[in-house]
């Protein structure tokens, strides 16, 4: 861990964060808005990477955790008029409870079976939102009266700060002894258990941490958008984007996941002139990366550095 | 009256689900691949059949054949362009190949879906049915097409059963699903078996897709739900167990039809999802799965 503060990765990340922090001084509000969303997405992807890359849990439903956090915060604000910050905290807590619900099957079933359970969780949440339309706004979405701030620069700094802090905590956790035990239990649970590590406890912790950050980010995103809808925080397609981000950036790197998310969202915007082909091109690029650089962006960069 | 209607409609839908899920489970059983581009291949078949019959006017039979052919080609493309490179890759650790195949086929499915949307728009397309008209069975007015769908599904599944259990190739496929290494030791090339399985899969998915296009119609939006329903049927039945998938397909098909008729079409998928979660808790390997 001490080596990290002198490593090249640390200086590059630090430089990137400093450059990113100065952006509001000279780029347009449009670019800032795009990056704000990208940063929240980056936290989704990092939280997912902690579960998949380290705990080895194939979570097809990152949007279950994100959606529960986002909708809890949104509903409490829109229907009960509670203050924004209280709603964000409660959203994150609701997401932690959702994470525990999701962790229950994970302790029983593995691999594709767990993957399907998570997918079903998303579909159930989606059905729930549509059925209880009075409370949730249904398919149209929920309009949220309050926002954190309407200043594009301030929103951008909040998102950047939030992503940086999350990245530091998640990365630190992944490199700590807890991260190593998680990695071991993800790869060979029987052997890790035989070495005397409490796998259940570590896995539960991973779910709680991942859910906390997903929910917090989801709640913040809702108060940035001023609306919560199935299409932005719950739909399976959103979850696919989160997974693709993490795999693109490099799984088991945490920081790479954030890079992947930013790339995905910025690339999608650049390709907007191609119209309906944009998604096709992004998927094709992602597939090529999966096939030829299975380590992802950061994985490829790190292994090159290690070799030289 | 209503009971008969549920019985008949449910049977046609279940048979269609069964056909779609059989190929999916066969590939998993033999090569351990969960193909998440399944829905995209089915939709590609239906859209190709629609385009051939309605735009190029080649007739319904030729259109259906073209649809199945397109599915076969897409299945091969999936295997050779996505699945095989990942399986053969030395840079991907073995224990992570599963998630890479999942991610890869998912992306591939999205690519197919977007291409279909780009060239043929997102509008729902109904393939011209091979048989038209309605008949009355037990007092229920039933489209002949629905009966045709059910019969074709049952016939194809029966043929598949014969192929797997009664021919040499089929027995090799069966053996590969039990023990791939054993098959290799007996001098059979595993890659050839995989190619056969993907061919069977392509034809099954193609027929299911074209029939679905005639029965309910498809659009590029159907891709995700189709993959999800095949996935859940297969997991419910037990991954890799063909007979389990058949049972699960009928359970899900009838449950959905019952809900749609008796409660509300809006809640159609909910009981099946609840059942799935319930089964996963008490019997994680599915109804007939092996661990």
Tell me: the pLDDT tens digits for B270-287?
888 888 888 877 877 777
CA distance A169 to A175: 10
B186: left (phi over 0), alpha (psi -120 to 50) or beta: alpha
Q: Do A119 and B228 touch (CB under 8 A)?
A: yes
Residues of A in contact with B223 (CB under 8 A): none
Mean pLDDT, residues A164-170 taken together = 93
| pTM of the full structure | 0.85
Q: Do A120 and B118 touch (CB under 8 A)?
A: no
Which of A135-144, A285-294, B136-145 shows the lowest mean pLDDT across its residues?
B136-145
Residue B189, pLDDT score: 85
CA distance B256 to B269: 6
Residues of B in contact with A280 (CB under 8 A): 110-111, 114-115, 118
Residue B41, pLDDT score: 94
Q: Which domain holds residue B152?
A: 13-222
pLDDT for B191-238, tens place per residue? 888 999 999 999 999 999 999 998 888 888 888 778 888 888 888 888
Q: Is residue B86 part of a domain?
A: yes
CA distance A62 to B222: 22
Q: What percent of chain A has pLDDT over 90?
A: 26
**Residues in A 133-172 with any Cβ partner in B closer than 8 A:** none
Say yes or no to pLDDT of A139 above 90: no
Q: Is residue B46 part of a domain?
A: yes
Q: Chain B interface, mutation test: which of A235, A238, A241, A287, most B Cβ atoms within 10 Å?
A: A287
pLDDT for A216-264, tens place per residue? 999 999 999 888 888 888 887 788 889 888 888 887 888 889 999 998 8
Tokens 């002949």, located at residue = B144
Q: Is residue B106 part of a domain?
A: yes
- Around Cβ B111, how many Cβ atoms within 10 Å? 21
Residue A208, pLDDT score: 92
Q: Which residues pair with B140 in a beta bridge?
A: B137
Tokens 């796998």, located at residue = A199
Q: Is residue B195 part of a domain?
A: yes
CA dist B187 → B88, B177, B183, B192 (Å): 20, 16, 7, 12
Q: Is residue B73 part of a domain?
A: yes
Q: Is residue B250 part of a domain?
A: no
Residue A236, pLDDT score: 79
3-state secondary structure of B159: helix
- For chain B, helix (H) and strand (E) counts, in that order, are 12, 2
Say yes or no to pLDDT of A60 above 90: no
A93 compared with A149, residue with greater pLDDT: A93
Residue B144, pLDDT score: 83
Residue A128, pLDDT score: 87
Tokens 């809640």, located at residue = B267
**B92, B107, B274: residue with CB nearest A283:** B107
**A112, A117, A284: residue with CB nearest B239:** A112
Q: For residues A68 and A98, is the Cβ–Cβ distance under 8 A?
A: yes
Q: Do A277 and B118 touch (CB under 8 A)?
A: yes
- Around Cβ B114, how many Cβ atoms within 10 Å? 22
Q: Is residue B269 part of a domain?
A: no
Residue B70, pLDDT score: 93
Say yes or no to pLDDT of A275 above 80: no
Say yes or no to pLDDT of A1 above 60: no
pLDDT band at A307 (very low <50, low <70, confident <90, very high): low
Under-50 pLDDT residues of chain B: none
pLDDT band at A3 (very low <50, low <70, confident <90, very high): low
Residues of B in contact with A131 (CB under 8 A): 266-267
∠ at Cα A62 (A60, A68), nearest 5°? 130
Residue A44, pLDDT score: 94
Q: Which ipTM score applies to this complex? A: 0.82
Q: For residues B169 and B183, is the Cβ–Cβ distance under 8 A?
A: no
Q: Is residue B114 part of a domain?
A: yes
Residue B103, pLDDT score: 82
A23 compared with B247, residue with greater pLDDT: B247
Sign of the torsion formed by the C-alpha atoms of A148, A149, A152 and A157: negative
Number of domains in chain B: 1
A93 CA: distance to closest CA in chain B (Å): 24
A304 CA: distance to closest CA in chain B (Å): 14
């Amino acid at each position: 861990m001490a080596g990290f503060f002198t490593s090249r990765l640390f200086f590059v990340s630090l430089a990137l964060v400093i450059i990113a922090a100065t952006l509001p001084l000279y780029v347009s509000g449009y670019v800032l808005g795009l990056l704000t969303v990208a940063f929240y997405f980056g936290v989704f992807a990092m939280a997912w990477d902690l579960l998949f890359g380290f705990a080895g849990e194939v979570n097809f439903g990152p949007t279950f955790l994100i959606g529960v956090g986002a909708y809890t915060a949104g509903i409490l604000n829109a229907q009960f008029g509670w203050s924004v910050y209280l709603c964000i905290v409660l959203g994150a807590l609701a997401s932690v409870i959702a994470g525990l619900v999701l962790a229950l099957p994970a302790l029983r079933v593995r691999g594709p079976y767990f993957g399907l359970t998570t997918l079903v969780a998303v579909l159930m949440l989606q059905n729930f939102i549509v059925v209880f339309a009075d409370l949730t706004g249904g398919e149209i979405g929920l309009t949220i009266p309050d926002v954190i701030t309407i200043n594009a620069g301030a929103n951008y700094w909040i998102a950047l700060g939030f992503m940086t802090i999350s990245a530091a905590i998640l990365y630190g956790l992944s490199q700590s002894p807890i991260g190593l035990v998680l990695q071991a239990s993800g790869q060979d649970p029987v052997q890790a258990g035989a070495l005397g590590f409490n796998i259940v406890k570590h896995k539960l912790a991973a779910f709680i941490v991942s859910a906390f950050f997903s929910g917090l980010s989801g709640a913040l995103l809702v108060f940035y958008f001023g609306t919560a809808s199935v299409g932005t925080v719950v739909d399976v397609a959103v979850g696919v984007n989160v997974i693709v981000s993490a795999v693109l950036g490099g799984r088991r790197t945490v920081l790479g996941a954030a890079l992947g998310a930013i790339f995905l969202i910025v690339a999608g915007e650049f390709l907007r002139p191609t119209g309906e082909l944009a998604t096709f091109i992004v998927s094709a690029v992602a597939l090529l990366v999966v096939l030829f650089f299975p380590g992802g962006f950061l994985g490829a960069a790190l292994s090159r550095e290690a070799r030289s | 009256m209503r009971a008969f209607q549920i019985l008949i409609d449910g049977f046609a839908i279940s048979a269609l689900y069964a056909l779609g899920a059989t190929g999916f489970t066969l590939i998993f059983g033999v090569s351990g691949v969960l193909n998440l581009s399944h829905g995209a291949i089915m939709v590609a078949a239906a859209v190709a059949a629609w385009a051939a019959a309605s735009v190029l006017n080649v007739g319904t039979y030729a259109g259906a054949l073209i649809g199945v052919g397109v599915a076969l080609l897409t299945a091969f493309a999936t295997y050779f362009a996505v699945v095989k490179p990942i399986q053969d890759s030395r840079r991907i650790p073995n224990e992570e190949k599963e998630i890479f195949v999942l991610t890869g086929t998912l992306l591939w499915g999205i690519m197919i879906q977007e291409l279909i949307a780009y060239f043929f728009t997102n509008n729902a397309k109904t393939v011209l049915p091979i048989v038209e008209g309605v008949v009355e069975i037990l007092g229920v007015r039933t489209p002949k097409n629905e009966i045709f769908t059910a019969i074709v599904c049952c016939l194809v599944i029966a043929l598949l059963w014969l192929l797997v259990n009664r021919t040499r190739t089929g027995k090799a496929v069966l053996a590969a699903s039990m023990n791939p290494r054993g098959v290799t030791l007996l001098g059979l090339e595993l890659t050839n078996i995989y190619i056969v399985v993907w061919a069977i899969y392509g034809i099954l998915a193609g027929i299911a897709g074209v029939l679905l296009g005639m029965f309910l119609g498809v659009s590029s939006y159907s891709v995700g739900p189709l993959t999800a329903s095949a996935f859940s049927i297969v997991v419910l039945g037990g991954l890799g167990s063909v007979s389990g998938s058949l049972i699960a397909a009928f359970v899900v098909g009838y449950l959905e039809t019952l809900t749609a008729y008796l409660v509300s079409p809006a809640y159609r998928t909910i009981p099946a999802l609840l059942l799935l979660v319930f089964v996963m808790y008490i019997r994680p390997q599915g109804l007939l799965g092996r661990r």
